[in-house]
Structure 1
Amino acid sequence: MRGFRIEPGEVEAALARHDSVADVAVVVRDRRMLAYAVPADGAEIDPAALRRFANRTLPDHMVPAAVVPLDALPLTSNGKLDRKALPAPDLSTHASSRAPRTPEEEILAALFAEVLGLERVGAEDGFFDLGGDSIIAIQLVSRARQSGLVITPRDVFQHQTVAELAAAARPAGEGEEIEAEAPGTAVGVVPATPIMRWFQELTGPVDDYSQRMLLRVPPALGADRLAAALRKVIDHHDMLRLRVDRSTPEWTFEITEPGTVDAAPLVRRVDVTGLTGDALDRVLHDESLAARRRLDPANGVMAQLVWFDAGDEDSGRLLLTLHHLVVDGVSWRILLPDLVTAWAGGGLQPVGTSFRRWAQRLTAAASDPARAAETALWNDILATPDPLLGTRPLDPAADTFGTARHHTITLPPEITGPLLTDVPAAFHGRVNDALLTALALAVAEWRRARGIADDTAVLVDLEGHGREEIVPGVDLSRTVGWFTSIHPVRLDAGGVDWAEADSGGPAVGTALKRIKEQLREIPDNGVGHGLLRHVAGTVGPRPRPQIAFNYLGRAAAGDAADWSPADPAALAGGQDDALGLVHAIEMNAHTRDLPTGPELTAVWTWADALFDEADLTDLAGRWAAALRGLVAHVTGDGAGPVGGFTPSDLTLVDLDQDEIDELAAELDDGFDDGFDGEGEPG
């Protein structure tokens, strides 16, 4: 097992040699080494200078991530260092133990900061510790390639710091294994992917099943110029030229040649000069509804652009409506910059693997024996008892989007910030581990309080971005389409007293470790379920879980700048009211990076006939309370030992959770959390 032993005494001795230091203590918290320094008489502690001084005599991994000046070190009643009284450092600049040194580190540090919205990132900072997620990882891969470095999303998960990822990166064109596609591969009939087959099972009208984005745009955008930009984007991204033939039970999906879609009829200008408030909202609502209804998959009309022209002096709005078959959350992060680039007259970056080639490779993977071996796993998960939550089972014919109710919860920056960074870092995990732990705790307690079930296991349909690296030679970092995967998970946080979950007691940390390991047991983030359910047919069409969860990642919030997101509240819904709901309860969460800090927003949607509003708001409130408990467990005073490793972190040794916790407790006696600078036991 690779790792560096950190000796706090050695670090303290090195720092104490500086003339400005009278006393110093070094601890490790959440994988970061922290130094607390008391100035000598008449001196002042300069944290940056003290770290540079330490770097002259200490190896990189032993340089503190932060130096915190104190008037005096806090002591316990028996004169020992009171570690719990040491204040948390301000790590908002995200400066690590050293600055980047190699060209690769400099490129990746800059890209980390760019995609995560940070001022500065150091060489030893971890992508997920800083709030990254799997969707942002795909953006990182794309931008790295544009900067001349080849990495994969899997590299980002396996080599999470700038330094580790730089060592794994390859120069573009050197030793690349991306499959070269023959001319014309991107055009023609597309094998139906699992999500396309899932789509065919929906109940009700689907021609206008869509996603939308509303942007602020500069004055005098120009309808002709906008149509030319859209034409360029449609010709570049193949799925925007998709046609759907539903004349037979097995639908046919076909991508037409570039140049076959006339973009001009897809662009509409609406004069909103002088309109504000309710008057503008009514126009936005009516035009968004009309744009959605103009979608026509059978005739290849998969996009609509509506330019709300506010005149020559004021910024207008641009509504982009795309059929869901051709777009997903990751695709928007590709399409929007490309549209701006095309409008400005720039060239578009090439696409790695076409959607059609991906679909061919993906569906072929359904017959892989290794994939078939997952069948027992999925059937076992789907056998999890799923006691009825509402007054009756969901009926998609009656429980439609038109009958759905919604409840929105927003967590403030002081909760969202540590939830995205401190909590995943403490448990060497990802933000989904925390979000799903809170969901499992909330649902189990909500069921128990209503006499529905005492079982702590909760069955959930989990959505993912679906761009998993399951076949070699594929680069999907700039491929547009609907890649989403949906798979069931059994979440069992164990028996946790709700008062402890609410207050952040030790049991919530144990619960998160359990959920984290249950999620890690799912191969390839669950993409195999769709292949076996919808393509191979070895996983039976059992009733779906009643609850669905989707975390859409984090993105910058809209501001007054042109081409930034605008408030979409006035827009009509993205689906026909007669389309049947798929789950009794659906939860969609996302994070917006605001000037005041990140805010996590979750929209809870449910079938109105199945639940009282008070019941669902109570469930949503319990989820938010459990998240606050997790944050308090990691960042609050008096919470006791937090964080730690789980078996999936230590692949080179065979230890169960009890053995890992016992080892951590032994090490904790002598050295804070007792782990080394490489994230593994020393």
Structure 2
Amino acid sequence: MESALTQLRGISAAVVNPFENADGDKNLAAYLVPSNKTSDKQHDIDEIVQHLNKTLPQYMIPVTFQYLEALPLNQNGKVERSALPKPEQIQVAQKAYEAPSSKAEKVIADAWQSVLDIEQVGIHDHFFDLGGDSIKSLAVVSKVRESGLGINVADLFAYPVLESLAACIQKQVPQASSKIMDLFSLCPDSDKTKLPPDVINAYPISKLQEGMIFHYDSQVSSGSVETKGLYHNVSRISLDISIDIAAFKTALARLVSRHDILRTSFHMQGFSIPLQLVHQKIELPLSYTDLSMFDTKEQQELLDLAYTQALTKRLNVELLPLFSVHVHNLSSQKSEMTWVEHHALLDGWSVEILFKELSELYQAELEQREAQLADTPQYVNFIAAEQEAIANSANTQFWRDYLQDAEFASLPAPDQVSKNKRTSITHSFDEALTNALEQLAKQLKVSLKSVALAAHMHVLKTFTGEEDLITGLSLHGRPELENSSQSLGLFVSVLPFRLKVEQESWQQLIIAVSQGEQKIWQQRHFPLSGILEATNQTALFNYSFNFWILQRLPMIPANT
């Protein structure tokens, strides 16, 4: 912000400081030192704002501007922020609604209205302020590209204000949507003759999948029951209905036919490289037990026993299927579903999508209609993006520069936590605090994730005593293809997020975090294993941050 201000002719120095107005709203104030001390102190404020709008996201635009003869300095020659005068009420007026006029503005506005499900979007609106996020940005990019405009998700993060985004993409070469990968296009020629006859596609295993499979197999083979939950996911879902098992079986079969990843096996050996094989069909792993004849206590004991067995049953990644579902009927109005899958198949968002699709398919079967589900890109497209990122030497250099001179800071594990036992601590925020956090994010024009990540970095600074910190940051790497937000697979990646936590206020820290997220977003397809190799490190962090907004799943049917 300060650098952008000093690039303007007539300004020799600038500092931007957060402040709180009488209503409790947090804003930014700019203090400017003119090059010519005899110039008019109130000149060209509008020009300054227009300049900043071209170079900075909206949340970084100050709302007040004051000219000073000189900035107050401390004995070390640094700006003494506490000595700055209170911001003058030279408020930059909030811009009224202005309709899109150019082709790019209209295309973007239409895309935002469709994806965000809102009626009106103006050129001064902010994507994230309207409810946008990284998943929804994929749909926006896809819709804008359909009009022949050049755009990617990184552009939307860098220019979240519609007017600025339109100006950005008008300068770019129009680009089509990313290419859908042909069958077997990523499979080495030498391996194609080794494939079983029922395989309809084959492609490399992702680096994260490789790691999960290795640790899953090695820890399970150790014989410790405690470790069998690692990358072995079991979900229990209580339903206030009795499942029609025939209709449910049909819905599950249709779900499996829609998504290649549910018909996939993993082979670390036997081919020139580790491969995942997509099979034409699988035997549905569906089982059903009627527990309605037991009382509530006995039902709970049997459900707990089934859950324990599901947790400890080993999955062989070479054998299909790598998921299963068991339906327990409890009464004419209640049942419980147990879903099991190897984590190498699905990330958390994909599990949510899976349950939503299964609900829609089941209800459609009950109502004897076609399910309202769009075709989605298959997981192979993510693998193609990762392979391309690995082959690009510029990505390797980015991480070498980004992590230069970085030091590994470790947090000691609590005494009561053993290395072979996972422990979770749950803390709930009340509604008032949650609303306050959401309001803070809205005021700063950042995502709630950035606010939470800022708190995470502050905690790390408190407990490590360090300012230059690295944490693991979970990002999704879904390809920029139409409907990829509804694809199933393991799209998540954990990348090192580096930040110097030296800001003097929460507002400055949150803004710095948001900028830092944008910096590494374009690297989301480059795997952590490649970063470690490029930097000659064995570890960069022993803690990570994962932010996940849980959605309320539609129960089946919708009227229950």
TM-score normalised by the shorter chain: which range applies? Answer: 0.5 to 0.7
In 2, Cα distance between equivalents of 1:527 and 1:533: 11
Cα deviation, residue 531, structure 1:
6.2
In 2, Cα distance between equivalents of 1:139 and 1:318: 31
The structure 1 residue matched to 2:556, chosen from 557, 562, 565, is 562
The structure 2 residue matched to 1:255, chosen from 246, 258, 277, is 277
Cα deviation, residue 238, structure 1:
0.6
Residues 478, 168 of structure 1: alpha-carbon distance in 2 compared, 3 angstrom cutoff: farther
Identity within the alignment, %: 16
Cα deviation, residue 28, structure 1:
13
Aligned to 1:429: 446
Matched, 1:409 2:400: no
Q: Which has the higher contact order (CA 8 A, sep 6+)?
A: 1
Aligned to 1:465: 476
Matched, 1:191 2:208: no
Aligned to 1:441: 458
Residues 541, 385 of structure 1: alpha-carbon distance in 2 compared, 3 angstrom cutoff: closer
Aligned to 1:389: 412
The structure 2 residue matched to 1:511, chosen from 505, 509, 512, is 509
In 1, Cα distance between equivalents of 2:401 and 2:490: 26
Moved more, 280-289 or 358-367: 280-289
Aligned to 1:322: 341
Residues 152, 248 of structure 1: alpha-carbon distance in 2 compared, 3 angstrom cutoff: same
What do residues 490-544 of structure 1 show as CA deviations (whole Å, max 9, x unaligned)?
3332176xxxxxxxxxx2223323333444433525443536237xx42334234
Cα deviation, residue 409, structure 1:
1.2
In 2, Cα distance between equivalents of 1:283 and 1:196: 33
Aligned to 1:530: 528
Aligned to 1:349: 374
What do residues 582-633 of structure 1 show as CA deviations (whole Å, max 9, x unaligned)?
xxxxxxxxxxxxxxxxxxxxxxxxxxxxxxxxxxxxxxxxxxxxxxxxxxxx
User: Structure 2: where are the runs of 5+ without partners?
Assistant: 1-22, 28-87, 90-95, 187-199, 221-226
Aligned to 1:225: 247
Residues 151 and 175 of structure 2 are in contact (CA less than 8 Å); yes or no, is this contact kept in structure 1? no
User: Structure 1: where are the runs of 5+ without partners?
Assistant: 1-26, 32-81, 84-95, 115-119, 448-453, 497-506, 567-682
Aligned residues: 439
Residues 330 and 465 of structure 1 are in contact (CA less than 8 Å); yes or no, is this contact kept in structure 2? no
Residues 133 and 431 of structure 1 are in contact (CA less than 8 Å); yes or no, is this contact kept in structure 2? no
Residues 492 and 515 of structure 1 are in contact (CA less than 8 Å); yes or no, is this contact kept in structure 2? no
In 2, Cα distance between equivalents of 1:369 and 1:377: 13
Cα deviation, residue 234, structure 1:
1.4
Aligned to 2:535: 539
Residues 290 and 329 of structure 2 are in contact (CA less than 8 Å); yes or no, is this contact kept in structure 1? yes
In 2, Cα distance between equivalents of 1:239 and 1:223: 24
Residues 487 and 527 of structure 1 are in contact (CA less than 8 Å); yes or no, is this contact kept in structure 2? no
Q: What amino acid does structure 1 have at the position aligned with 2:219?
A: G
Aligned ranges 1:87-236 → 2 under 5 Å: 97=97, 105=109, 108-109=112-113, 111-113=115-117, 123=122, 125-138=125-138, 153-154=153-154, 156-157=156-157, 160=160, 176-182=176-182, 187-202=200-215, 204-205=219-220, 209-217=231-239, 219-236=241-258
Aligned to 2:486: 478
Residues 437 and 493 of structure 1 are in contact (CA less than 8 Å); yes or no, is this contact kept in structure 2? no
Q: What amino acid does structure 1 have at the position aligned with 2:444?
A: F
Residues 364, 164 of structure 1: alpha-carbon distance in 2 compared, 3 angstrom cutoff: closer
Aligned to 1:360: 384
Cα deviation, residue 211, structure 1:
3.2
Q: What amino acid does structure 1 have at the position aligned with 2:203?
A: V
Aligned to 2:302: 283
In 2, Cα distance between equivalents of 1:409 and 1:221: 34
In 1, Cα distance between equivalents of 2:248 and 2:546: 33
Partner secondary structure for residue 219 of structure 2? coil
Aligned to 1:492: 500
Aligned to 1:296: 316
Aligned to 2:49: none
The structure 1 residue matched to 2:266, chosen from 241, 244, 252, is 244
The structure 1 residue matched to 2:355, chosen from 317, 332, 336, is 336
Q: What amino acid does structure 2 have at the position aligned with 1:428?
A: K
Aligned to 2:394: 370
Cα deviation, residue 253, structure 1:
3.1
Residues 468 and 524 of structure 1 are in contact (CA less than 8 Å); yes or no, is this contact kept in structure 2? no
Moved more, 369-378 or 482-491: 369-378
Residues 133, 234 of structure 1: alpha-carbon distance in 2 compared, 3 angstrom cutoff: same
What do residues 64-100 of structure 1 show as CA deviations (whole Å, max 9, x unaligned)?
xxxxxxxxxxxxxxxxxx98xxxxxxxxxxxx94899
Residues 462 and 548 of structure 1 are in contact (CA less than 8 Å); yes or no, is this contact kept in structure 2? yes
What do residues 124-161 of structure 1 show as CA deviations (whole Å, max 9, x unaligned)?
65342245432354477789999xx9986446535646
Aligned to 1:455: 466
Partner secondary structure for residue 480 of structure 1? coil
Partner secondary structure for residue 433 of structure 1? helix
Residues 219 and 316 of structure 1 are in contact (CA less than 8 Å); yes or no, is this contact kept in structure 2? yes
What do residues 269-312 of structure 1 show as CA deviations (whole Å, max 9, x unaligned)?
12243768655443333223333426432212211112122333
In 2, Cα distance between equivalents of 1:280 and 1:169: 59
| TM-score using structure 1 length | 0.54
In 1, Cα distance between equivalents of 2:535 and 2:323: 34
In 2, Cα distance between equivalents of 1:278 and 1:122: 54
Residues 387, 359 of structure 1: alpha-carbon distance in 2 compared, 3 angstrom cutoff: closer
What do residues 332-389 of structure 1 show as CA deviations (whole Å, max 9, x unaligned)?
243223222332243542123x3224313421331212112224135426x3241552
Partner secondary structure for residue 532 of structure 1? helix
Cα deviation, residue 405, structure 1:
2.4
Q: What amino acid does structure 1 have at the position aligned with 2:157?
A: F
Cα deviation, residue 562, structure 1:
3.1
Residues 141 and 477 of structure 1 are in contact (CA less than 8 Å); yes or no, is this contact kept in structure 2? no
| TM-score using structure 2 length | 0.64
Q: What amino acid does structure 2 have at the position aligned with 1:349?
A: A
